[in-house]
Amino acid sequence: MRRLAPAALLLTACSEPKAALTVLDQPEAVLGRSFAQVSNVVEIGPNQVALAELKDRTFLFADFATGTATPVGQHADSIKPGDAAPGQHKYPGYVLRLGPDTLGLVDFAAERTTIWTTAGGYVGIMPGRGVGGNNQPLVYDGKHTGYKEDVRGVLGGLEPGEEVNFDNLAVLRIIAGDTVADTVARLKLPVWGRGQFGEQMKIVSTIFSGRDLFGVLPDGSLWAARANDNRVDWRSPTGDWSTGPRRSYTTIPVEQAEKDMFLNRLRQQMASMGAPAGIELSYPFADSKPPFSAGATNTYTSEVWLQRSRAFADSVPVYDVVGRDGKAVRAVQFPKGATLAGFGAEGRVYVLLRQGDAQQVVRYVVK
């Protein structure tokens, strides 16, 4: 269903045309069973999807037609470094679509990514483990080239002589079989500030300060969403950059109630780790929120989906969809409290809805 959005849901006035709003209010299908905590959803057929159940630590193929979920591979309590452990996984954390008939399963505990067919067959282990740091790529192109943020500049682990940089991160490209990575983009990080933890003063990220995001298409094209001016830049497979137009947005102030909630949750977490009650705690907060808070790549349509930042009391997610030219294609409003989980062919969009303590996988179609 498509209808024009009210002014409050549209971007603020600017020279670019207003993007029409698509409201996801009529699901095409609902998976006939629920889950505790789903990683993401990857379509493997018109009615079949692959997902990782995080709490159960299982890798599953689910069928919308039958409502069943079939385990793939076997759980292992221990997988040692260098152990092939074919067909096993320790903590399935994220599912990748590597090709029309090929999946990747990111195993955070075993620190490896395994390759599977969409029929459930085990293929092998993705090469490149440890290249450019121990964090695993969560993005691949059609040639199984991996892309990841180089977090070593912030978290530590750089080689001697390499420069520490706290205001941006490099995006590393790891070509299958290579033992080194090359830098293909740089992403702005949130502004740093000072946080007080009891008697300790630490340098921390400013909460709600914007940061850049990136994603990759199967042909190796890379997009970078720039938080400073709400634009999407593109890098071609040959390395040429094109700068997208700046898109205006509604400025959302950070409310005191949201600051208080963040600090209360942080106190609870610290108390669970043994911190004394009433510890002095302060954190730097931005005055206003960035234009977007999350992003995803629809590889079927070569579009970027950016989740708008929203006010503290607003629980209705809205995504701005941006094309290869950096211009807005449409805006999509999700159900209250919903989470974008993945995409499929012919406009299919997979969404997670919270039902009590469980999650329901729901499919919509956006034309």
Burial class (CB in 10 A: 0-12, 13-18, 19+), 30: middle
Q: Tell me, what amino acid is at 320?
A: D
Q: What is the pLDDT of residue 306?
A: 99
107-120 average pLDDT score: 96
Distance between start and end Cα atoms, the chain: 9
135-158 average pLDDT score: 86
Percent of the chain with pLDDT over 70: 92
Q: What is the pLDDT of residue 126?
A: 95
Q: For the whole model, what pTM was predicted?
A: 0.90
Q: Look at the block and give the residue holding tokens 């995080």.
A: 54
174-200 average pLDDT score: 91
Q: What is the pLDDT of residue 163?
A: 53
Reply yes or no on whether the pLDDT at 367 is more than 90: no
Q: Give buried/exposed letters for 110-139 (b at 16+ CB in 10 A, else e).
A: bbbbbbbebebebeebbbbeebbbebbbbb
Sequence-ordered list of residues with C-beta below 8 angstroms from that of 174, at least 6 positions apart, any chain: 128, 131, 132, 137, 145, 146, 147, 148, 181
Average pLDDT score, the chain: 91
Q: What is the pLDDT of residue 130?
A: 87
pLDDT band at 162; cut points 50, 70, 90:
low
Q: What is the pLDDT of residue 9?
A: 40
Reply yes or no on whether the pLDDT at 8 is more than 60: no
Reply yes or no on whether the pLDDT at 161 is more than 60: no
- Segment among 152-161, 194-203, 333-342 with least mean pLDDT: 152-161
Reply yes or no on whether the pLDDT at 155 is more than 60: yes
Q: Tell me, what amino acid is at 355?
A: Q
Sequence-ordered list of residues with C-beta below 8 angstroms from that of 138, at least 6 positions apart, any chain: 94, 96, 106, 148
Burial class (CB in 10 A: 0-12, 13-18, 19+), 27: middle
- Segment among 27-36, 88-97, 251-260, 274-283 with least mean pLDDT: 274-283
Reply yes or no on whether the pLDDT at 153 is more than 90: no
pLDDT band at 198; cut points 50, 70, 90:
confident
220-226 average pLDDT score: 99
Residue whose C-alpha is closest to residue 126's, from 100, 153, 150, 146: 146
Reply yes or no on whether the pLDDT at 29 is more than 50: yes
pLDDT band at 12; cut points 50, 70, 90:
very low
Q: Look at the block and give the residue holding tokens 């206003």.
A: 288
| Secondary structure (H, E, C), the chain | CEECCCHHHCCCCCCCCCCCEEECCCCCEEEEEEECCEEEEEECCCCEEEEEECCCCEEEEEECCCCCEEECCEECCCCCCCCCCCCEECCEEEEEEEECCEEEEEECCCCEEEEEECCCCEEEECCCCCCCCCCCCCEECCCCCEEEECCHHHHCCCCCCCCCCCCEEEEEEECCCCCCCEEEEEEECCCEEEEEECCEEEEEECECCCCCEEEECCCCCEEEEECCCCEEEEECCCCCEECCCCCCCCCCECCHHHHHHHHHHHHHHHHHCCCCCCCCEECCECCECCCEEEEEEECCCCEEEEEECCCCCCCCCEEEEECCCCCEEEEEECCCCCEEEEECHHHEEEEEEEECCEEEEEEEECC
Reply yes or no on whether the pLDDT at 5 is more than 90: no
pLDDT band at 17; cut points 50, 70, 90:
low
For 304-323, write each residue's pLDDT tens digit. 999 999 999 999 999 999 99
Reply yes or no on whether the pLDDT at 10 is more than 50: no
